[in-house]
Amino acid sequence: MSVRAAIRRFLGVALTLIAVSVGVFWASASYSRRARAEPLEQNPFRYLPVFFNAHPSGVRELAAIAMQRVARGGTVAVAAQLELARLGGAALPYVLPALDSLEPNSRERVALALTPIALRMEVASREELSDGAQAVLFWTRFWQDRAIDFRAASVRHLTLRLAERAIALRREDLVHVDTFALPALIEGLGEVRDANDVARVQRLTSVLSHVTDLPVRSTENPSLSEARRTVDTWQDFWALHGSEYTELDGPRRLAATFVETQYGKWLAAVLRGGLGRTRTGESALSVIERCFATTALLLLVGLGGGFSLGVLWTRFERRTSRIALRYASAVLGTALAAIPCASFVSLFAGRSAGLGSALCLVTVATAAWVSRHLARSTISEGRVSPLAAAFSVSAPLGATYPPLVLSAIVLVELAFELPGLGRAAALSLASGDVNAWMATSLALALTTLLLRQAADLLRPRPTLGSALVEP
Amino acid sequence: MTEALSPRRRLALAVSAVVLLILLAALLAPLSPQLLGYARGLQFAVVAGALIMAVAFLVAIPLGTLAASGPRAFDAALRFVCDLFSSLPTLFVAAVFWAWADRSLSYVCALGALRGLEQAWLLRCEIVRLEAEDAAAPHSLGRTPLLAFLKLRLPAALGPLFVSASFSVAWLTALDAALTQAGLRPHAALPTWGLELAEPHGSPLGATLAAGSVALLTVSLHALFRPPRVT
């Protein structure tokens, strides 16, 4: 095979895999939306569009909406006050300059709504902000004095200094800018490799949990794994809420139309490493590592063995001279192919059958299915090299029976509680665990695609018209 | 197996199998609620099976023909779509269809379209093979290319499709049973054979009858759909 052909095949697999990832993600989103309410409630990205966000919201938009609602007053103002408090210092560069544009009463309402932020930033006491006029005066002066601190470069510098060494003043400086420091703080967490990294994570976590009011605390002497878990927790928080604390402008707004979607968030988790984390906190990659061997064995034996057996069966049926034997073989084959695998699974599942029975079931199901197609169709068994053609993407049966065999694999894995990719995928689809579903279903798809591409390369081709058979 | 039977006898065999099943269902249904489920399952299997076959043929014949004889890009597109669907268990695709479809009719039509894609690839491969061997060339003398294709090559290439179509009821029941057993069937409102087969506390008689009926229907459809020959 030439390099050009190899590249074309590789690109074909990559493109198919991308399309599969889009398809299975849509499948997961559709299934969760329609099937049950429970997974919906558990999915942290449920409010985002699946693939395209026409109106992504950054801190500027969220702060403006919250400020308008607070200014208007009424019942919606209560939720808006909480939203302003949550957005914290990140909202101040947009709220404080806009205070002057509000009418006096609205201005006082907004200034008072900012009180929780001032308390968290430790820049005022509750008594200083008890009155609306006082609050307006405070925030006007605050912005005159401190606007210069709300710059990304200076906050990054402060974070670097705190990351290097713990001094109370450095921590205070960051607390004074509140959630405005979040991007720099999250970035500052970095990777955890040694004791110095653990200490850095501990210092930054103290500020992070203070400004976000989240109960993520480091123990006194955290281990490396504990520190890594803490970093993972903050990374998850940032993946979910990052855009709410940053401004979306120019290219970032354009990128946000994709990034701020359920698919974009999943992709970001994948790019962070480990293919994201499952609901149980386990890396999705480790789920694949655990489940791959069982499914690969079932695939190889089920598809390879089953196809070979099917071809032998067909040859026997065609060559035998006894009519009764031919009839019996045909009826048995059709019945075995027709009776759902689920019925046999139900019969065997209660017993201590294990992997052996699972392999037998998948192999027999494949053999019966293939033999019926070969025996009755105009596809000649003489053209098929049993093992290679079993997986080949170009073979006529290539699109017909592999999905059924894969379904049988999922079933036997579930029934016999085998730790396989199919079982993990089915359980995660049912429970709405997006990361686990995506990782396992993509691993299953990639394994099938690669096996079939490899078989296609090994498959002997008929000399006549072979170029036509290959698209 | 059925090469010796005439087309009329093969049709009679298939029809009598269906009539036998309907009679069996009518007789057994009043006896117990489980058997009533079996009778309703038969209704669903026959109607949905026929619908799946019809939709699959509607999708497969034009797509397969275009992929084999039309622009090369179309062939590549069909292969891409087939690769896409065949890299995942049909079980998962059916689960999503089941969740997506508001009514069972949409679900069955979606399954028919999926089956149509698989059969389109079968048809495309068969047409390409026949073209390469030029099996119908001597018979096409004096006919226009289109007429020769429609009268000779297409009917000759439909063999694998018919074989595949005879498994439609079995395929549907298998998927349904698998969905139930895997816990991926969001609502179990529809009484089907798949449900009978996969329900852990279902009636053994109902399950046996369902499995036997699927096998009988498939065998009779298998007998009915003999691959045509170019004469």
Distance CA(A16)–CA(A19), nearest Å, equals 5
User: Which residues of chain A are within 8 Å of residue B207 when distances are taken between CB atoms?
Assistant: 343, 346
Instruction: With a cut of 50, say whether residue B124 has pLDDT above it.
Output: yes
Mean pLDDT for all residues in chain A: 79
The percentage of chain A sitting over the pLDDT mark of 90, rounded to a whole number, equals 1
Cβ pair B88:A441 closer than 8 A? yes
d(CA A141, CA A120): 18
Q: Which helix (H) or strand (E) holds A246?
A: none
Asked which of A138-142, A292-296, B14-18 is least confident by mean pLDDT, the reply is B14-18
β-sheet bridge partners, residue B145: none
**What are the tens digits of pLDDT across the range B188-220?**
566 777 777 766 556 677 777 777 777 777 777
Residue A3: phi, psi to the nearest 5?
A: -60, -35
DSSP state at residue B136: T
Looking at this predicted complex, what is its ipTM?
0.76
Give the DSSP letter of residue B150.
Answer: I
pLDDT at A392 (0 to 100):
58
State the amino acid at position A265 in one-letter form: K
A434 touches chain B (CB under 8 A): no
Indicate the pLDDT class of residue A467, thresholds 50, 70 and 90.
Answer: very low
pTM above 0.90, yes or no: no
Q: How many residues does chain B have?
A: 231
Fill in the amino acid letter for A424: A
pLDDT for B149-160, tens place per residue?
777 778 877 877
DSSP A186-232: HHHH----SHHHHHHHHHHHHHHHHHH-------SS--HHHHHHHHH
Give the pLDDT confidence score for residue A34 in this predicted structure. Answer: 64
Q: What integer pLDDT is reported at residue A469 of this predicted model?
A: 39
Residue of A nearest to B173 (CA): A340
pLDDT of residue B199: 67
- From the CA of A454, how many Å to the nearest CA of chain B? 14
| pLDDT computed for residue B55 by the predictor | 93
Which two tokens mark A140?
């006007």
Nearest to A183 by CA among A258, A230, A234, A146: A234
Instruction: State how far Cα A41 lies from the chain centre.
Output: 16
The CA distance from B178 to the nearest CA of chain A, in Å, is: 6
Give the pLDDT mean for B108-130: 86
Nearest residue in B to A25, CA atom? B96
**Residues A429 and A30: beta-carbon distance below 8 Å:** no
Chain A residues within 8 A of B164 when measuring between CB atoms: 373, 400
pLDDT at B217: 78
CA separation for the pair A176, A180 (Å, rounded): 9
Instruction: Kindly list the residues from chain A whose CB atom is less than 8 angstroms away from the CB atom of residue B214.
Output: 338-340
CB contact under 8 A, B181 and A372: no
Give residue-wise pLDDT tens across range A332-351.
Answer: 777 777 666 666 666 666 55
A404 contacts chain B (CB < 8 A): yes
Report helix, strand or coil for A465: coil
Residue whose token pair is 């009539």: B19
**In 10 A of CB A281, how many CB atoms?**
10
pLDDT confidence of residue B227: 53
Residues A251, A254: Cα–Cα separation, whole Å: 5
Of the candidates B99, B8, B81, B128, the residue with the CA atom closest to the CA atom of residue A15? B81
- Average pLDDT value for residue range A284-311: 84
Report CA-CA distances (Å) from A305 to A302, A338, A403, B89.
6, 19, 16, 19
